[in-house]
Structure 1
């Protein structure tokens, strides 16, 4: 049976609860969420690419291709791929920026970063890619540094999303583009019901069968439901200082690409 989420508020703001946030449908101390998310991704890192293909039936490749097409990245650009995981976007950005550009694959999780680094090196990617273990809320980069910043399927795992969006905006050059690719809210009620049933029944089962871990995929399904909807995330990006913010629904709103420009 599909579980019902608690209040959709992204971080607890009720009196006396400012020190808690959500971890899926559970409430946890804010200073413990990053560690619990890290455990999830330590667990799934080895099977991450295979599970992505199975869970999305390969459609995640189209979502990422659309993100690349809208990025406007050109030779010589400097790009930050936050929560870059196993390097799907980093690989494409590396091709676009060429030898005169630079791509930084950043991930808070050491296991994911190692899998991504090994995968890219095995495919011959080396010269223009740097690997940095970094927290999206406290990016170790100077102001006005990148032409483009992307975060794909990572923002929903961040404890303070508003702070992360502000810091991503900070490191962008004026005129630079932030792209947030993330699961969102289906626009059709019937699709939403089907998607809920799939997420809360099929995903944990596949996680158990393929990765030997149903609990992590239960969390991932819950984290999707707790993520802001399209309009809420757009407003958050506006509040972070971005302009011309817009979003593009894909696969009926199951996924949305939000894009904003630093003025």
Structure 2
């Protein structure tokens, strides 16, 4: 499965998102809103569940998850950017969700949670930010912290076996300007299946002519 590599360091990524945080809601959040809603609709978070969002950004998904699980549930979030965490924490406090939302500044490469902690995990435009060799390790961490019957919802840019000229141009921009064009398309469903997840639902939607895949899968433990 041929996908572009991620060349920037974790330190550079953290610095980039810290700088972007104050503008994120103005430029990126409106674009992401429709995909967050689609992913959450597929995930079907229920009252009382314990759910983790990886790469929560400025908190659009966190707030909706907190509302879905209610005060009988719990929502955790992890993000590499301290500034994103600060912005989301303020939103959580303002919404009155602080008692059942906990945010962590950290790297999903090593999730700071015990085994079998979560009913579900949500990731939107995050898995494709990891370098290709890291993706199986991140997914293994997801399997570890998910309950045996837990589910994972991934929303990500989709790579094609016969990429369009527009997709090839985007990948060129990703290679040339990795700090600005940070996401790159990946084989979402194939990577999840290879990691041992059981596909429950897969939907392809389009964003500005670029394919985006929303995949919900069940945890499969060895």
Normalized against structure 1, the TM-score is what?
A: 0.72
Counterpart contact for 2:55–2:124, Cα < 8 Å: yes
d(CA) in 2 for partners of 1:116, 1:188: 38
Q: Which of 213, 216, 219 is matched with 2:178 structurally?
A: 219
- Give the SS at the match of 2:57: coil
Q: How does 1:6-155 map to 2 (within 5 A)?
A: 8-9=2-3, 22-23=6-7, 33-53=9-29, 58-155=30-127
Q: Rg bigger for which structure?
A: 1
d(CA) in 1 for partners of 2:145, 2:110: 11
Normalized against structure 2, the TM-score is what?
A: 0.84
Counterpart contact for 2:156–2:186, Cα < 8 Å: no
Q: 1:189 to 1:83 in 2, by over 3 A?
A: closer
RMSD, matched Cα: 2.9
Deviating runs (4+, > 6 A) in structure 1?
186-190
Q: Which of 163, 176, 191 is matched with 1:236 structurally?
A: 191
Unaligned runs of 5+ in 1: 1-6, 12-21, 201-214
- Give the SS at the match of 1:254: strand
Query: CA offsets, 1:158-210, max 9 Å, x none?
Result: 241110011011111112111111222479977x528947x95xxxxxxxxxx
Q: 1:224 to 1:138 in 2, by over 3 A?
A: same
d(CA) in 2 for partners of 1:37, 1:46: 15
The Cα shift of 1:132 comes to: 1.1
d(CA) in 2 for partners of 1:69, 1:133: 26
Q: Which of 187, 205, 218 is matched with 1:250 structurally?
A: 205
